[in-house]
Amino acid sequence: LAGTVPEEPRCTVERADASLTSSLFLQRFAFSRPVILGGVTDNSAFRALCTREKLLAAFGPFPVRLSTANTYSYRKVDVPFQEYVEHLLKPQDPARLGSDTLYFFGDNNFTEWGPLFQHYVPPPFRIPGTSPAYSFGIAGGCGMGTCGMALGALPAPTPAPTAGSGSGVPFHWHGPGFSEVIFGRKRWFLYAPDQTPHFHPNETTLAWLQHTYPTLPPAQRPLECTLHPGEVLYFPDRWWHATLNLDTSVFISTFLG
């Protein structure tokens, strides 16, 4: 199944466009429900800096910190960014546990990656009393036996169609934030804070989708949607969410702490 994860055409998350004002965002979404924002930013300049060649030239020798893709006990592993890109390439193995799957998301050294983030245009919405922090991620899954990670993120300049498919972060929650897809497609699953999803904390999102999702009655299914490049998802505080990269992807999140 690796590399053949289908895109679900149905989207049950509300959408909004550039006509959404800050006051309406606060009134309708900030504290109550997620929303997909389209056309609220133009990150074409940032996207141009996130090709394989540009990122390797700028950050190749720097270490990146990889995290295990399980819910409660992230373990960290550092590897050079160039090694991650050039040698550790493989879609998510559906049989791998989250503790045996490494993933590049967050944990970036802002001193080193700061020049790249300066070109990113965040969504124009804020929540009073919070301040934004960026988290840059690259789709990937790594079996610990061979450490065969799917880089996912770095098209060169035409994206590989399936490398990195099936990787993702299992269900978890934290404070509110935005997540924008720069390259690739990312499928999201979301539950309200009072609707704890049924999942094993050491199960990957791909395994959950294959084994648990088909058994859920309609009333117990999550809100879900597949995001494409340029689309931004906002999720409120303490909403459960899990992600699944359908192909190679680069993404950046703005957490409102």
What CATH number does the domain containing 211 carry? Answer: 2.60.120.650
| Cis status of the peptide bond prior to 157, with omega within 30 of 0 | yes
Query: In this structure, what token pair is assigned to residue 174?
Result: 């934290």
What domain range is 89 assigned to? 22-143+162-256
Is 243 within a domain?
Answer: yes
Confidence (pLDDT) at 200: 87
SS3 state at 131:
coil
Higher pLDDT pick, 24 / 184: 24
d(CA 5, CA 244) in angstroms, rounded, equals 9
> Would you say how long the chain is, in residues?
257
Q: Give me the amino acid identity at 237.
A: D
> Based on the structure, what is the number of domains in the chain?
1
Q: Return the residue matching tokens 């999942």.
A: 199
Is 224 within a domain?
Answer: yes
d(CA 187, CA 226) in angstroms, rounded, equals 4
Q: CA angle, 133 as apex, 128 and 136 as ends, to 5°? A: 145
Is 59 within a domain?
Answer: yes
**83-91 average pLDDT score:** 65
Confidence (pLDDT) at 153: 36
pLDDT in tens, 14-56: 999 999 999 999 999 999 999 999 999 999 999 999 988 899 9
pTM of this structure:
0.84
User: Is residue 147 very low, low, confident or very high in pLDDT (cuts 50, 70, 90)?
Assistant: very low
With 70 as the cut, is the pLDDT of residue 152 above it? Answer: no
Task: Write the CB contacts of 83 (distance below 8 Å, at least 6 apart in sequence).
Answer: none
